Amino acid sequence: MRLREIAHSRAGDKGDTSNISVIVYDMADYPCLERWLTADRVREHFADLTKGEVLRYELPKLGALNFVLRGALAGGVTRSLALDAHGKCLGPMILDIEIPEGREEAPA
């Protein structure tokens, strides 16, 4: 299933850094989100855009994960020639990541 089936996102930017939060609709789905949505999976998903590191911060009491993607915005809004280089555009994109249905264990 796609991540959007269990979570929504909020995103923003500062310079060349994008900040994306993924928040579950139901707290019962947070362990699945925590298990499957790793910094490596997010880095791989945004490989064409992100040139720097991807950091993951866990917010279990909010049922959320926050990702900081450095070097993700082609220099930032005021420096990029891209039509829309705002980090908020990456929020919906993260929800396209595929995760297993149900409560499967992550591979070792």
Domain span at 57 = 3-94
Query: Cα-flanking dihedrals φ and ψ of residue 69, to 5°?
Result: -110, 110
- Edge-first strand order for the sheet with 64-69 is 7-14, 17-24, 64-69, 54-59
Residue 108: pLDDT over 50: no
Q: Does residue 9 sit within a domain?
A: yes
Q: Does residue 106 sit within a domain?
A: no
Query: Cα-flanking dihedrals φ and ψ of residue 64, to 5°?
Result: -140, 155
Residue 78: pLDDT over 90: no
pLDDT attached to residue 81: 45
CATH number of the CATH domain containing 73: 3.30.70
Q: Which of 55, 57, 61, 68 is nearest to 24 (CA)?
A: 61
Q: Does residue 87 sit within a domain?
A: yes
Q: What is the mean pLDDT of the chain?
A: 80
What is the domain count for the chain?
1
Q: Does residue 99 sit within a domain?
A: no
Q: Does residue 50 sit within a domain?
A: yes
Q: Does residue 108 sit within a domain?
A: no
Task: Work out the average pLDDT over 86-100.
Answer: 77
